[in-house]
Amino acid sequence: MTKLPLLLLLLPSLVFAQQKNIYHKGWVDFNKNGKMDVFEDPSQPINKRIADLLSQMTVEEKTCQLATLYGYKRVLKEEMPTESWKNEVWKDGIANIDEELNNLTSKTDAASTQYSYPYSKHADAINTVQRWFVEETRMGIPVDFTNEGIHGLNHDRATSLPAPIGIGSTWDKNLVRQAGQTVGREAKALGYTNVYAPILDPARDQRWGRVVECYGEDPFLIAELGKQMTLGIQEEGVASTLKHFAVYSVPKGGRDGAARTDPHVAPREMYQIYLYPFRRVIQEAHAMGVMSSYNDWNGEPITGSYYFLTELLRQKFGFTGYVVSDSEAVEYLYSKHHVAGDIKEAVRQAIEAGLNVRTNFTMPQTYIMPLRALVSEGKVSMKTLDSRVADVLRVKFELGLFDYPYVKDPKAADKIVHTPQAQAMGLQMNRESMVLLKNADNLLPLNKSSVKKILVTGPLAKETNYAISRYGPSHNPVTSVLEGIKNYVGNGSQVTYTKGCDIVDATWPESEIIETPLTAQEQAGIDSAVNQAKQSDVVIAVVGEDVDRVGESLSRTGLNLPGRQLKLIQALQATGKPVVMVMINGQPLTINWENKFVPAILEAWFPGPESGKVIAETLFGDNNPGGKLSITFPKTTGQIEFNFPFKPASQAGQGGANSWGKTSVNGALYPFGYGLSYTTFDFSNLQVSPEKEHQQGDIKVTVDVTNTGKVKGDEVVQLYLKQELSSVTTYEYDLRGFERVGLNPGEKKTVEFTLHPDDLAILDKNMNWTVEPGKFQVMIGNSSENIKLKKEFEVEK
């Protein structure tokens, strides 16, 4: 099957290929010398192939393997190779080309192209670009085609997933593995060889705009889901590049944009919270890529840090892939952090630290030329240069690019990308990401036969941009919440719509601190919604944030519903009609009034294109919400930092010894792991075996969970671990296991967990991971604050 596509693939340059005679049975003559070199021999060990290739490369060719070329329209000016490329720096090759011909939709750098769709056309186009590098450069080193993929592959009409914060709320490891496989499979079919996903940053400051792009706040949950996503992607023969290493997600004050710096994180906390997911995913899933972050830690910029990029990443964690910089992170060494006086010194610091590939929205020579000068001046040794290049080549060899550099069957892409099965998986992930926050008097699910007049209102009811936000697929048709509800109820109920208010008012965000009176137009909008509500059986208010209110460079200082949305909710609630509040948002919001007075609240996060369908199914009971919060909802920004896990008493109120007065709002609005259901569950028969174990042994934990309600539903069984006494202060308790279980009414299942020594380990006084002898408590619950069962075991010396 592959011979015919290969022949078709080579037709445009058949004369060239015959002249050079580079394509042979089982190998490619990349350096065009007429013989099979060691690096061209698939039977040779990779390290030997790397050494042989390096020995034949010039400094020019080596330095070109250490820079990214951003794809068409972002930096590259031509869609297809042209004669002028012979005069460009990449005539000597290039490490990778990012987001090439993916038809990116972005406010800042949209990159429309004719080659993104049909999918087979893109695969052919990637082959054409790859062929240029193989055939027209001296050594013929293939390109690593990179692309984003945190909620589905960042390509025109690829399969969409909900935003990562929604993926995190599924707590479904098997489904996340399937999602990774889908991303990897589609990438491979389209010609991409490296996907920038998953994001492993713990989102510990709810104000931070990129919370929407993270799985949540807890390092264990992030590690478990990130591991599955990475395994899924790489099982399809595509590299997974982890983002953003390291301590990136807690800039001072949660500020993003021009800030992205100065995390106030102690060393032990850095290891236990921020490095933990990276260590686990690198060691257990063997991710082939890591992206270095913009920020500093303790005054040391990560992208110029030997400690982070070499000692931690390679020597301690065992990473063997290549490190790519976040865009402009190298330049920040002199433009923001001021640890380098100019670009040349910044380049020197980065490459000495362990950076492999620099990425920026400029032509690659802005990095390559200073690097060549440093080598010629002896300021960067050939040994260092070779080591950095070897890491890049290793990934290319492991991906098989030196055995077959092309998409083998471009036409197959049309049958592989965005299949009905993949779309069904994405739809299921959307369903599982729904989190029911409140359901007073079982208002939900709504009864379609008894609810005849439905008002759908709110600024997000007809909005769709949240479903195609940055770093995921573009141009998929989106079903709005309004459309979804109309489609669901059909002709059986009357659905009316009025917007009620805009997402923000004219002076927002200043209006969060200096409120202005409602304009006549704003009052009329709310009045219209109120009048419609009075004539309705139920009000569905769709509120929250859109892509202009949360995301990269969009951190917030307040977390209330933006603009006049609370006023709309208050006016609707005052009608006495039942109000259901649907939230579409990317970060926890401080919805205190809403939680106190609105009877039903559904958290939908940023769902995918099927959002309207899924939300309608959930409101009317066809989808029983089983998602759980992967991040704490604080009551006020004044509580931040407020997260799980936490140190003993660090999030306590003002009761108890040496405490008096009432001066603060205490406790979580909704805790980590929280989420309601339309049914009920019971936990029983907690067993821990053995009850005494040595330091290197495993502990088996089993528990029974039963659906005690009347409808089918999913429960997330959560295992928390508490060490009763330790040599250093540890977290009050840690998440150390979870399983999402689907149960029919009356059905019981036994859930089994295995606690490994790594799950029990702490960083001791000498900063060594150690399992200390003593007593531990296993706690089983369905949120971090709703512990149902406890049992003790002991670790002996």
Please indicate whether residue 734 is annotated as part of the active site: no
Q: Which residue has the tokens 């010039």?
A: 58
Dihedral, 724, 729, 732, 736 alpha carbons, nearest 10: -80
Note if the bond before 118 is cis, omega within 30 degrees. yes
CA dihedral 164, 170, 174, 177 (to 10 degrees): 0
Pick the closest to residue 100 from 194, 232, 197 (CA basis): 194
Residue 94 identity: I
Closest CA to 111 of 158, 155, 148: 155
Cα separation, 556 vs 211, whole angstroms: 11
Which of the following is catalytic: 98, 144, 326, 505? 326
Q: Which helix (H) or strand (E) holds 726?
A: none
**Region class of 191: left (phi > 0), else alpha (psi between -120 and 50), else beta:** left
User: The tokens of 132 are what?
Assistant: 């240029």
Helix 3-10 with 119-136: angle, nearest 10 deg: 70
Buried b (16+ CB within 10 A) or exposed e, 370-392: bbbebbeeebbeeebbbebbbbb
Pairing of strands 239-245, 194-196: parallel
Q: 3-class secondary structure for 244-305?
A: EECCCCCCHHHCCCCCCCCCCCCHHHHHHHHHHHHHHHHHHHCCCEEEECCCEECCEEHHHC
Give the CA distances from residue 638 to residues 331, 476, 551, 666, 700, in Å, rounded to whole numbers and listed in that order: 35, 39, 21, 10, 41
Query: Which residues make Cβ contacts (< 8 Å) with residue 658, sequence separation at least 6?
Result: none
Burial of 691 (0-12, 13-18, 19+ CB in 10 A): exposed
The residues, ordered by sequence, that sit 6+ positions from 465 with a Cβ below 8 Å of its Cβ are 546, 547, 548
Catalytic positions, written as ranges: 326
